[in-house]
């Protein structure tokens, strides 16, 4: 069994990007810029945004954090997005979700210029992914794909079983793995809550991607020997022995599943750290594309 160390891989990617950004500076170029837009004061969103901003500054990407009050109108937010669509200093625009209930998230996502859609949530980005064109791929699925590459995991012709069909994880990773490309080209099954007997599907997986949001749901007897396991879930469970009173677990019962696995991602330290690394990568890519440098 080999542990896929997402923390280490993400750090390597960040250092590679830093070198690229440094080279831009040395050759007198502008650097990539990312603007984050946060509406309201959801504590989890605040933590996510601040870690994205910190990651940008560590590798030399210019960043700006727009923080708007929770009573910001949809129109005001759309105007701000439009302002950054036109601002040449910012190559990526990230609107932190979820938005307050009075704002239509779809409308806001669709207002972001597809050229600056570093989160990969715009319908044009998703459409391009489905038809196999180069595009911005949402960060968590892009991070999973990157892990397959970096760990040289054979995916061609393998049966990938994805548990979860969300627009941000399940559907995009299923579409990535379907592509006739390196580290994809797989046979893909997507499961969701209507599956009567989930283990019927998971037991067939050569590669199992669990993105359900159910703590330790995938047990040892639900997988076959030699499976590659990507655990996307991040769930808090009560643990009075921990200072915070909780600990993080994935969707996979790690202690049971790891001994049967060829490769497995831990939680934390597996898929999670890859997400921000891919956001930085997408911002760099947006910069290159906008400047005709790719």
| Number of residues assigned to the chain | 294
207 touches ligand NDP (CB under 6 A): no
Alpha helices in 160-208 (DSSP H): 170-178, 198-202
272 touches ligand NDP (CB under 6 A): yes
Distance set, CA 91 to CA 88, 142, 247, 280 (Å): 7, 19, 36, 11
Note whether 269 and 7 are within 8 A (CB): yes
Instruction: Spell out, one character per residue from 219 to 258, where the chain touches ligand NDP: x when CB under 6 A holds, - when not.
Output: -------------xxxx-----------------------
Among 33, 141, 170, 172, binds ligand NDP (CB under 6 A): 170
Candidate ranges 99-107, 175-183, 189-197, 222-230; the one touching ligand NDP (CB under 6 A): 189-197
Note whether 152 and 198 are within 8 A (CB): no
| Annotated active-site residue in 107, 116, 117, 119 | 119
160 touches ligand NDP (CB under 6 A): no
Instruction: Give the relative orientation of helices 272-290 and 139-150 as an angle to the nearest 10 degrees.
Output: 100
Among 213, 220, 256, 290, binds ligand NDP (CB under 6 A): 213
| Of residues 2 and 219, the one with the C-beta less far from ligand NDP | 219
| Site residue total, ligand NDP (CB under 6 A) | 26
Annotated active-site residue 96? The verdict is: yes
Q: Is the peptide bond before 268 cis (omega within 30 degrees of 0)?
A: yes
User: At 2, phi and psi to the nearest 5?
Assistant: -120, 130
For residue 232, give the nearest of 146, 155, 140 by alpha carbon: 140
Instruction: Spell out, one character per residue from 33 to 72, where the chain touches ligand NDP: x when CB under 6 A holds, - when not.
Output: ----------------------------------------
165 touches ligand NDP (CB under 6 A): yes
For residue 31, give the nearest of 66, 65, 57 by alpha carbon: 57
Using only the alpha carbons of the chain, give its radius of gyration: 19
| Of residues 68 and 198, the one with the C-beta less far from ligand NDP | 198
DSSP string for residues in 68-129: E-TT--HHHHHHHHHHHHH-TT-SEEEEPSPPPTTS-HHHHHHHS-GGG-TT--SHHHHHHH
| Of residues 24 and 143, the one with the C-beta less far from ligand NDP | 143
| Of residues 130 and 248, the one with the C-beta less far from ligand NDP | 248
User: At 201, phi and psi to the nearest 5?
Assistant: -85, -45
Annotated active-site residue 52? The verdict is: yes
191 touches ligand NDP (CB under 6 A): yes
- CB of 211 vs ligand NDP, minimal distance in Å: 4
280 touches ligand NDP (CB under 6 A): no
CA distance 108 to 68: 14
State which residue has the least CB distance to ligand NDP: 166
Among 32, 33, 164, 266, binds ligand NDP (CB under 6 A): 164
Annotated active-site residue 179? The verdict is: no
* Catalytic residue ranges: 52, 96, 119
Binding site for ligand NDP (CB under 6 A): 140, 163-166, 168-170, 191-195, 198, 211-214, 217, 232-235, 271-272, 275
């Amino acid at each position: 069994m080999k542990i896929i160390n997402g923390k280490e891989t993400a750090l390597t990617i960040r250092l590679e990007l830093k070198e690229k950004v440094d080279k831009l500076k040395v050759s007198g170029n502008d650097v990539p810029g990312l603007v984050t837009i946060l509406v309201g004061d959801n504590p989890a969103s605040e933590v996510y945004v601040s870690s994205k901003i910190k990651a940008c500054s560590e590798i030399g990407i210019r960043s700006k954090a727009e923080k708007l009050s929770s009573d910001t109108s949809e129109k005001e937010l759309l105007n701000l997005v439009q302002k950054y669509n036109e601002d040449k200093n910012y190559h990526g625009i990230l609107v932190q979700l979820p938005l307050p209930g009075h704002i239509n998230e779809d409308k806001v996502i669709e207002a972001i210029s597809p050229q600056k859609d570093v989160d990969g949530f715009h319908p044009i980005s998703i459409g391009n992914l489905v038809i196999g064109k180069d595009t911005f791929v949402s960060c968590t699925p892009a991070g999973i794909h990157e892990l397959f590459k970096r760990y040289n995991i054979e995916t061609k012709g393998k049966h990938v079983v994805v548990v979860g069909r969300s627009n941000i994880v399940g559907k995009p990773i299923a579409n990535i793995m379907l592509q006739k490309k390196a580290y994809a080209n797989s046979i893909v099954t997507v499961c969701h809550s209507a599956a009567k007997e989930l283990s019927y599907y998971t037991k067939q997986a050569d590669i199992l991607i669990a993105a359900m949001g159910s703590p330790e749901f995938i047990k040892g007897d639900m997988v076959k020997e030699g499976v590659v396991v990507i655990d996307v879930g991040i769930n808090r469970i009560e643990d009075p022995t921990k200072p915070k009173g909780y600990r993080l677990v994935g969707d996979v019962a790690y202690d049971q599943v790891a001994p049967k696995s060829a490769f497995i991602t831990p939680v934390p330290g597996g898929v999670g750290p890859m997400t921000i690394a891919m956001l930085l990568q997408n911002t760099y890519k947006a910069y290159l594309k906008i400047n005709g440098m790719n």
